[in-house]
């Protein structure tokens, strides 16, 4: 690894603590990431030194917060390589971003008898909003399955597409299998049938370079709290042509141009989709988080995380009766597994006793559980502030727990 590890770790003081009298090992990064000092300092600055509601004031603090918020939009635009800053909408997170599209796009473009395609490995956030839209519009959901090794059966996509398909929604990276999906290829196929594609980037934005113009995706969603920023803030990127054509999602202040009781006209992009007071401190702090990882270098982060993934996979596979779910050749640092017959809840609790935080349960992906015929899984997920030594402690803990059963 060629970035200064000690310095990075110093930026995340939360990691330097004990849980159950052991050094805390945080392997729940796919659920939420920790925030580095510059992000915490930004929140502090915009709480203790500068605060006023944005866009509505002529006074100094209102101008400062507005500038910082709009600057965050430029940071996100650069980060996603979007063509225009107006294509960046701040939301409360990936879930809201997807709901925005499922509500607003479908209101305009989905009719009775139409179809929407999702994949079998989606997080519930990229299933349920589409199901709800299908119910509202009497349309139906079609599902692209994945193979047992966790790769999507992209070769089946053409056979799922019909002239009634109105949109395709797919995760860039699966939150359970860790699979990096071939979204460029999926988008190419969908576009050859004039079908727009929404990419759920919740698990990819923190770990890979994103270029929405190169991908040519129509929508891209991600969350601040999974990219070392605050909770309650997220992003929807949408191509201007779609966003212009879509009706507003929420009504209220800021999204309007002129209101009378007879008729209301709507604001320009991006404000048309940002009703009410946004989480402007969150947006500003998320901007700092993005700058933080860009300063380290996303490619360096990705390559180090790959080393962690490969090392952990090898160590875990060496354990008898440990099954890993999802072994796609293209993966990020997410490992879902089952150890012997130990129930994931027991395993998670015992790991916690040894100071190690993992996630257990259905991981907001019931169809993935159903695919493998299990009721729950255990998930360890790594990021650039984790270490080989932490993986060693984790594997030693697994060995120890197995002996107890």
Closest CB to ligand PMP among residues 229, 355: 229
Contacts of 27 (CB under 8 A, 6+ apart): 356, 357, 358, 380, 381, 382, 386, 390, 394
Crossing angle for the helix pair 60-80 and 280-296, to the nearest 10 degrees: 40
Residue 177 three-state SS: coil
Q: Up-side HSE of residue 290: CA atoms within 13 Å toward CB?
A: 26
Closest CB to ligand PMP among residues 36, 232: 232
Closest CB to ligand PMP among residues 95, 288: 95
CB-CB contact of 212 with 221 (8 Å): no
Closest by CA position to 225, among listed 383, 363, 64? 383
Closest CB to ligand PMP among residues 54, 127: 127
Residue 364 falls in the annotated catalytic set: yes
Closest CB to ligand PMP among residues 121, 354: 121
Minimum distance from residue 223 beta carbon to ligand PMP (Å):
3
Minimum distance from residue 286 beta carbon to ligand PMP (Å):
12
Phi, psi angle pair for 85, to nearest 5°: -65, -25
Minimum distance from residue 184 beta carbon to ligand PMP (Å):
18
Binding site for ligand PMP (CB under 6 A): 93-95, 123, 125-126, 171, 175, 200, 202-203, 223, 364
What span, in angstroms and rounded, lies between the C-alpha atoms of 175 and 331?
11
Minimum distance from residue 382 beta carbon to ligand PMP (Å):
15
Provide the b/e sequence for 193-231 (b: ≥16 CB within 10 Å). Answer: eebbbbbbbbbbbbbbbbebeebebbbbbbbbbbbbbbe
Minimum distance from residue 364 beta carbon to ligand PMP (Å):
6
Closest CB to ligand PMP among residues 202, 286: 202
How far is Cα of residue 169 from the mean position of the Cα atoms in its chain?
14
Tokens of 328: 């796609």
Closest by CA position to 328, among listed 143, 175, 181, 122? 181
Minimum distance from residue 95 beta carbon to ligand PMP (Å):
3
What span, in angstroms and rounded, lies between the C-alpha atoms of 215 and 168?
14
Phi, psi angle pair for 369, to nearest 5°: -60, -45
Residues identified as active-site: 364
């Amino acid at each position: 690894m060629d970035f200064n590890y000690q310095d990075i770790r110093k930026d995340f003081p939360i990691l330097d603590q004990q849980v159950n009298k052991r050094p805390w090992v945080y392997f729940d990064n796919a659920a939420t990431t920790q925030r580095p000092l510059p992000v915490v300092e930004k929140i502090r600055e915009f709480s203790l030194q500068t605060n006023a509601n944005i866009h509505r004031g002529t006074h100094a603090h209102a101008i400062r917060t507005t500038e910082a918020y709009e600057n965050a939009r430029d940071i996100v635009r650069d980060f996603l390589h979007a063509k225009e800053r107006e294509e960046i909408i701040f939301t409360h997170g990936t879930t809201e971003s997807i709901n925005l599209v499922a509500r607003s796009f479908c209101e305009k473009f989905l009719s009775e008898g139409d179809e929407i395609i999702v994949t079998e490995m989606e997080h519930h956030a990229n299933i349920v909003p589409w199901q709800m839209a299908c119910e509202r519009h009497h349309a139906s959901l079609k599902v692209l399955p994945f193979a047992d090794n966790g790769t999507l059966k992209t070769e089946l996509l053409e056979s799922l597409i019909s002239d009634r398909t109105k949109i395709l929604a797919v995760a860039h990276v699966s939150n359970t299998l860790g699979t990096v999906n071939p979204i460029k290829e999926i988008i190419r196929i969908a576009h050859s049938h004039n079908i727009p594609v929404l990419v759920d980037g919740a698990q990819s934005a923190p770990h890979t370079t994103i270029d929405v113009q190169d991908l040519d995706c129509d929508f891209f969603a991600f969350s601040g709290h999974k990219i070392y920023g605050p909770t309650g803030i997220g992003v929807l990127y949408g191509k201007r042509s779609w966003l212009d054509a879509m009706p507003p999602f929420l009504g209220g202040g800021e999204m309007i141009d002129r209101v009378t009781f007879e008729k209301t006209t709507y604001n320009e992009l991006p404000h048309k989709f940002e009703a009410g007071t946004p989480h402007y401190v969150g947006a500003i702090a998320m901007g700092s988080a993005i700058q933080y990882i860009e300063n380290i270098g996303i490619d360096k982060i990705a390559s180090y995380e790959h080393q962690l993934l490969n090392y952990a996979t090898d160590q875990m596979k060496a354990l008898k009766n440990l099954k890993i779910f999802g072994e796609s050749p293209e993966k990020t640092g997410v490992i879902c597994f089952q150890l012997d017959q130990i129930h994931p809840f027991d395993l998670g609790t015992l790991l916690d006793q040894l100071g190690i935080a993992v996630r257990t349960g259905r991981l907001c992906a019931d169809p993935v559980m159903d695919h493998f015929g299990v009721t729950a899984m255990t998930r360890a997920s790594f990021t650039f502030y984790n270490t080989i030594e932490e993986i060693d402690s984790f594997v030693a803990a697994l060995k120890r727990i197995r002996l107890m059963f």
